[in-house]
Structure 1
Amino acid sequence: MRIRRRFNAEADLDITSFMNLMIILVPVLLLSMVFSHTSILKLNLPPLSDGSSSDEESKLLEVVLRDEHIDVNYPAGLRVRRIEHVEGEPQFKALSLVLQEVKRQLREKGVDKKDVMLLSEPDTSYQTLVSAMDTVRSYQAVVVTSVVEAELFPEVSLGDAPEPAAPEQ
């Protein structure tokens, strides 16, 4: 007996619907894609104090982040201003104004101070620390008709806040 074999021609592949899908899907995915933005901030270690220099430039400017308030100390240990939190939230705008005034007074004395030491308690949130670092580095100023970032203290050092002093009686 003879076996008949049919000669099957290869079937054409219809990819029209797939191409239509790709034409729509690729632009939609490209438009919805989020491009990541990574910022790197150079931090310095706190300086070792030897107590030998009493120069104005060597005095430390400290910003101490506490649970209830923010202290600005200059030189280290002498409080310039205490900024109380409002409804549990730190007041970074007030901190910026205080630091702008400190910067202005230092410039009047002929000191170009660029470093600040940011001291925080161990339970300080990451967002609070980042917001404080952004606040001490620069502030927004209007020059002519545009808003620019003006420099405050760009060289930020991090450290642990000292234990709070006992309340006075």
Structure 2
Amino acid sequence: MAIRRRLETDPDLDITSFMSLMTVLVPVLLLNMVFSHISVLNLNLPGLSDASAEEQKENRQLEMVLRAEYIDINYPAGIRVKRIPNRDGKPDLKLVSDVLQEIKRALRDKDIDKKDLVILSEPGTPYRTLVSAMDTARSFRAVVAASVVDAELFPQISLGDAPQGDDLAQSGQRQNEQLAGNGL
């Protein structure tokens, strides 16, 4: 019995449509990678500790208190260095940056390398205001060797709730007594 064999040939693969898809898909995916940049902010949350250590540490804290009508800069904690009223209903973050730069220079002159700042905000503070304040406290634009760079201010930022109005009234006397003695 004779076996008859068929000559089978493999059909050619037509990958033209697949190559067209890749030609369009690769540039689109690469462009989307540029626009989906993710930023990570490191925030420090207050921990549980004994009150005596907290009081000593609290006294050396630099605070930025965000209120609806103004921003207070306090150093040490609770002692106002400068009150910056809002301009046109928005916080004057340029002046805040200038004040923080002056504080950084004054601390550096005293050989204090301070990198942390506590931002205290009222419960109704808009998210955009809080993020803008964090960006302002973290760095500022400086011109170095004919190029603009971001210079570091206070990159370690902690968040908290601003004290109520009654707390400010009680600390008002202590603040007036110590305001002249803070040296800033």
Provide the TM-score with structure 1 as the length reference: 0.76
Q: Do the aligned residues in 2 keep the contact of 1:46 with 1:117 (CA within 8 Å)?
A: no
SS in 1 for 2:100: helix
SS in 2 for 1:64: strand
Higher share in helix: 2
Equivalent residue letter for 2:118: M
Q: CA RMSD in A?
A: 3.1
Report the equivalent of 2:164: 163
Q: Do the aligned residues in 1 keep the contact of 2:59 with 2:77 (CA within 8 Å)?
A: no
Equivalent residue letter for 2:119: L
Are the structure 2 counterparts of residues 106 and 69 from structure 1 closer, same or farther at C-alpha, using a change threshold of 3 Å? same
Report deviation, 1:50.
2.0
5+ residue gaps, structure 1? 1-15
Equivalent residue letter for 1:129: L
Q: Does 2:101 align with 1:97?
A: no
Q: Do the aligned residues in 1 keep the contact of 2:59 with 2:76 (CA within 8 Å)?
A: no
1:91-130 → structure 2 map (5 Å cutoff): 91-130=92-131
Cα deviation per residue 1:121-156 (whole Å; 9 max; x = unaligned)?
A: 111111111111111011010001111111101110
Are the structure 2 counterparts of residues 52 and 162 from structure 1 closer, same or farther at C-alpha, using a change threshold of 3 Å? closer
Report the equivalent of 1:46: 46
Which 10-residue stretch deviates more, 39-48 or 142-151?
39-48
Provide the TM-score with structure 2 as the length reference: 0.70
Report the equivalent of 2:86: 85
SS in 2 for 1:50: helix
